[in-house]
């Protein structure tokens, strides 16, 4: 059961390749992901089974770790935001299931496993993706209730999460990604800031907001996450251009019409841009001093990762 493995050195566990200190977040997260799935009572068992298949597949878990670390940075307890951390991983997993659908990228491999629509069927995959989105919002509702936020802040936080996934965020980015005609730098940056940057930013601020962080802390985390997200995507493009599907555990894009940072700038320049973004992300954390150690390590991991 590789999905149960949480050790940083296991090589195929959920936190594979992440710095050693992240082990304790993985230890919190992995059982929580399983426990926070809805129950499969009634006739909906196979939908929950499909959610579990995709959610518990080995993943890097960067987004939920961001949520837990940001809570700690704001003086909170990582365990107290575990529902929100699970929620962002559910949102991310839902987006992967939908991206892989036959009507989207028609991908067969994801996180080293058959894509969900092939493992089960297309209707179940669509329902499981939407059910993961809904469970994420159920958990966010529970999280804002538990955190005892002021009603205005509770509502704004829910709205920010919905806008992150919706047209102003990931769905807008996915639409443009599916329609790559006339792609220039601006539209490529639009795709990635919407598909990847939006959820990185939500993840990195959610824990802090639930822990009562002030505006200054949130602005630093937003700047960090935005640059980290774009760097993550550029590294993705570089890995896609070099590696095989087996190494990445997902289909490598064969659509040569699709512009990437590598096709646009060449690999060497793309890597320079990624390095600059990582540096900018790190600079945003200066006000936190040594407290930002884990986020600095995460930035290095994003730059150096091999899958």
Name the nearest CA neighbour of 198 among 7, 41, 4, 66. 66
Position of tokens 């159920």? 138
307 binds a copy of itself (CB under 8 A): no
149 binds a copy of itself (CB under 8 A): yes
- Comparing CB distances to a copy of itself, the nearer of 176 and 291 is 176
Interacting span for a copy of itself (CB under 8 A) from 14-22, 32-40, 71-79, 275-283: 32-40
- Comparing CB distances to a copy of itself, the nearer of 158 and 252 is 158
User: What is the smallest separation between the CB atom of 106 and a copy of itself, expressed in angstroms?
Assistant: 10
271 binds a copy of itself (CB under 8 A): no
- Comparing CB distances to a copy of itself, the nearer of 48 and 239 is 48
Q: By rule CB under 8 A, what count of residues binds a copy of itself?
A: 67
Q: CA of 217: how far to CAs of 125, 220, 226, 244, 288, in Å?
A: 38, 5, 14, 40, 9
Report residue 56 as tokens: 């518990």
137 binds a copy of itself (CB under 8 A): yes
Interacting span for a copy of itself (CB under 8 A) from 23-31, 72-80, 187-195, 266-274: 187-195
* 3-class state of residue 257 by DSSP: coil
259 binds a copy of itself (CB under 8 A): no
Interacting span for a copy of itself (CB under 8 A) from 127-135, 248-256, 258-266, 299-307: 127-135
Q: Distance (Å, rounded) from C-alpha 191 to C-alpha 85?
A: 24
The H-or-E segment that residue 74 falls in is none
108, 116 contact by CB (below 8 A): no
82 binds a copy of itself (CB under 8 A): no
User: What is the smallest separation between the CB atom of 154 and a copy of itself, expressed in angstroms?
Assistant: 4
131 binds a copy of itself (CB under 8 A): yes
Q: CA of 263: how far to CAs of 232, 234, 253, 269, in Å?
A: 16, 11, 12, 11
E strands in 92-246: 109-110, 113-114
107 binds a copy of itself (CB under 8 A): no
114 binds a copy of itself (CB under 8 A): no
Q: Distance (Å, rounded) from C-alpha 10 to C-alpha 29?
A: 16
b/e code 292-301 from CB counts within 10 Å (16+ = b): bebbbbbbeb
| Residue list 191-210, contact with a copy of itself (CB under 8 A) | 194
- Comparing CB distances to a copy of itself, the nearer of 75 and 166 is 166
HSE of 152 in the Cβ direction (CA atoms, 13 Å)? 0
| Residues sharing a CB contact under 8 Å with residue 286, sequence separation 6 or more, in sequence order | 292
User: What is the smallest separation between the CB atom of 104 and a copy of itself, expressed in angstroms?
Assistant: 5
Question: Which of 32, 57, 62, 147 touches a copy of itself by CB under 8 A?
Answer: 147
Contacts with a copy of itself by CB under 8 A lie at 38-44, 46-48, 51, 98, 101, 103-104, 121-124, 126-127, 130-131, 133-138, 140-163, 165-168, 171-172, 174-176, 178-179, 187, 190, 194
């Amino acid at each position: 059961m590789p999905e149960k493995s949480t050790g940083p050195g296991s090589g195929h566990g959920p936190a594979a390749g992440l710095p050693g200190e992240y082990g304790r977040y993985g230890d919190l997260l992995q059982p929580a992901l399983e426990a926070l799935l809805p129950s499969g009572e009634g006739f909906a068992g196979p939908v929950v089974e499909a959610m579990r298949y995709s959610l518990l597949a080995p993943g890097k878990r960067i987004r939920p770790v961001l949520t837990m670390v940001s809570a700690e940075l704001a003086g909170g307890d990582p365990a107290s935001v575990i529902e929100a951390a699970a929620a962002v991983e559910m949102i991310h997993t839902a987006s992967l299931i939908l991206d892989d659908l036959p009507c989207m990228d028609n991908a067969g491999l994801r996180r080293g496993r058959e894509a969900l629509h092939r493992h089960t069927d297309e209707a179940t995959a669509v329902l499981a993706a939407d059910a993961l989105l809904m469970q994420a919002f159920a958990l966010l509702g529970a999280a804002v209730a538990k955190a005892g936020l002021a009603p205005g802040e509770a509502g704004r936080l829910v709205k920010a999460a919905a806008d992150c996934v919706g047209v102003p965020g990931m769905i807008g980015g996915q639409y443009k990604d599916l329609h790559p005609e006339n792609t220039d730098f601006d539209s490529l940056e639009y795709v990635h800031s919407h598909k990847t940057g939006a959820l990185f930013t939500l993840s990195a601020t959610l824990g802090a907001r639930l822990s009562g962080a002030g505006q200054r802390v949130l602005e630093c985390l937003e700047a960090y996450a935005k640059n980290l997200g774009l760097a993550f995507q550029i590294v993705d493009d570089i890995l896609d251009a070099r590696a095989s599907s087996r190494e990445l555990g997902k289909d490598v894009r064969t659509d040569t019409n699709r512009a990437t940072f590598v096709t646009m700038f060449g690999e060497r320049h793309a890597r320079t841009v990624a390095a600059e973004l990582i540096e900018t992300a790190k600079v945003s954390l200066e006000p936190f001093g040594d407290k930002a150690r884990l986020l600095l390590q995460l930035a290095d991991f994003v730059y150096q990762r091999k899958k």
